[in-house]
Structure 1
Amino acid sequence: MTSETDISIIRSCLLFFAIFGIFGNLNIVIATRRNKNLQHKCGILLAILAICDTICLLNEFQSFLRMTFDLGQTTLNKCFYFNLTYILIEPLEVYMIFILAIDRLIAINYSIFYRKIPKSKYILSMLIPGLIIAAIFLISSFLNLPNSNSNSNSTIIMVDSCILPYSMPENVSYWWNQYNLWGAVATLFIYFYTYVTVYCCILSAILIVIFTNMKNAPIDPDTVSTYAVIPGLISYSCNFYVYFWRSSDYYNAFVKQLFCGRNLGNQENLAPPSKKSSSVSVMVKKAQET
């Protein structure tokens, strides 16, 4: 069973990553909107991912408020409606991470095709499957909810913690875990194949699946599910700081944005603090439209 210490640690993490993650993700969206050189295919996909991450973090902030005011225990039906947007957006966020790996694979190995395909058609074709997957999880959860109109107590399912895995019926939650796990594995494989750093959210799904299916787990599965939110929070929050550190294009846009366009020197373009060439910048430039 999750202890008070566990709850305090998770609550602190939720608040920390909500503040820094939302700040970073909003900067990505604003920078993409203001800078045409970031409005290439990959840049738009990154901005969409940033929007998804922001919505996920806002829902996690809701969890922080519920923990703070001791509102964790509720019925499954109420928990579903509390996390309605989260159930819809989180599968799309997982899909967007995977599709960015596919995007890099296409851009590097099929660069001529990548440059020729129209941007709007490409973005739409990449986005539609993810929206369909997200809708399937949302509709399936709704259809499998217990009948709230019944007066029988046997139809009322209580959840101790109103967090995402417990806001869906058990059978849907199982497939949601499988989707997260194998989506992360597929993303890992694609990124490994194209030599790109993988997102750390794979750890969250693996922890949940492994310890949930162990009969005599050394750690309580509820505790694992509670702590498994941390890798997800890192994944939702880290993109802005990685781009700031590793991409000269995003670095220039962010610095100009954060300092309100103020002239910081005579240099036409600012340079990132690292003297090494950025692999992210190189890959982004490959994806830019001619």
Structure 2
Amino acid sequence: MAMSTSRLVSQIITATEIVFFNIFGVFGNVNFIVLTMKNKSLKSNSSYLQCALCFCHIICLLFELPNAGLSFSGVQWRRYECFSVISIYIFFICAQAVIIQMMTLDIFIIIYFPAFYRSIATWKYLTAMLVYPAIYSGIVVVWGFIAMDDELLMFCNPPLSLEPTVSRFWTLSNVIINTITLVMFLTLMVIFYYKGKQQKSNTKKVMQRLKVSILFFICTWYMGLLICDMSVAVGFTGETLILLLTHAVFFVLISYTQFFYVVIWRSPEYRNKFLEMWSFIPCCKRLRARFAETSKDFVTVFSQANSLTTKT
């Protein structure tokens, strides 16, 4: 009876989290794509790659909704039924983790191969950047189809829908991928610390926009994956293991949702365009006017200080 109550509470909490993050996550990711496509000043190879990430996150969030419905209904699926339905989700959940790594590589290319970055056609650049995510994701999904069985699942989500051996490979490989991404990103931070003044303004803007978002993603994605991986490694089994794997989705949902909100916080260009696009809403109109006034005051103060310095 106690376990039954625990399971019910777990289902309600998980479903509520999924619905909440879907509302804010889909809204944010769609807005990032629309802002990039509508504004020429925001278009670049980097921003298109970020749009690919947002698209993956939209798919991932939407595919979590059936799990929310199943949580409330109490319906349980067998692994072959669950995996067949969410295999597309698993493809995109794998792809988005590798795209984050490609976004870090993208900054390296901007810094060390600027002429190549400016000259290469966008479609060629994006194709090259997305081949690795597609191959890795395809391997996991194909292996998942080959290994699936008819075990009854408590929840229909990626860690449980994959056969345990495949699930273990998925979590461990993602930890490795994110560790490599973290090392790459920390290397970039060191480069910018020592050579920041020499970097071009466009490079600085990209780095400023992405550094918090990438670190935020790595932390939340790491946390979700480590909970899954360590739960198995420590030896948890049965209902305890299932509950731990299920609640790890909280950190995963944050990673799907945060990108747009970090961008509009860190990037004045995206923030201004967002407020302009939504200025028909009174609060956005007021915020747009406030930010414009703040920017004007800053420019005035900077000009006066610069003038005094010149006179001196």
- Per the normalisation by structure 1, the TM-score is 0.82
Q: Post-superposition shift, 1:264?
A: 5.4
CA RMSD, 1 decimal: 2.9
Whole-Å separation in 2 of the counterparts to 1:8 and 1:167: 20
What amino acid is aligned across from residue 67 of structure 1 in structure 2?
S
Residue 52 of structure 1 corresponds to 56
Q: Post-superposition shift, 1:258?
A: 1.8
Q: Which runs of 5+ in 1 are unaligned?
A: 147-155, 277-290
Q: Post-superposition shift, 1:179?
A: 1.9
Identity of aligned residues (%): 27
What amino acid is aligned across from residue 262 of structure 2 in structure 1?
V
Q: Which has the higher helix share?
A: 2
Q: Post-superposition shift, 1:216?
A: 6.6
**Taking structure 1 as reference, are residues 158 and 53 closer, same or farther at Cα in structure 2, changes over 3 Å only?**
same
Whole-Å separation in 1 of the counterparts to 2:225 and 2:171: 6
Alignment of 1:96-115 (within 5 A): 96-115=99-118
The aligned length equals 264
Residue 249 of structure 2 corresponds to 229
- Per the normalisation by structure 2, the TM-score is 0.77
Alignment of 1:248-287 (within 5 A): 248-259=268-279, 271=292
Whole-Å separation in 2 of the counterparts to 1:260 and 1:39: 24
Q: Post-superposition shift, 1:64?
A: 0.8
Whole-Å separation in 2 of the counterparts to 1:83 and 1:241: 27
Residue 197 of structure 2 corresponds to none
**Taking structure 1 as reference, are residues 215 and 84 closer, same or farther at Cα in structure 2, changes over 3 Å only?**
closer
Whole-Å separation in 1 of the counterparts to 2:146 and 2:244: 28
Residue 77 of structure 2 corresponds to 74
Q: Post-superposition shift, 1:201?
A: 1.1
Alignment of 1:195-234 (within 5 A): 195=189, 196-197=211-212, 198=215, 199=217, 200-215=220-235, 220-234=240-254
**Taking structure 1 as reference, are residues 264 and 221 closer, same or farther at Cα in structure 2, changes over 3 Å only?**
closer
- Rg (Cα) greater in structure: 2
Whole-Å separation in 1 of the counterparts to 2:111 and 2:20: 36
Whole-Å separation in 1 of the counterparts to 2:162 and 2:294: 45
Contact 1:99–1:126 (8 Å) recurs in 2: yes
Whole-Å separation in 1 of the counterparts to 2:275 and 2:46: 21
Q: Which runs of 5+ in 2 are unaligned?
A: 190-210, 299-312
Q: Post-superposition shift, 1:207?
A: 1.5
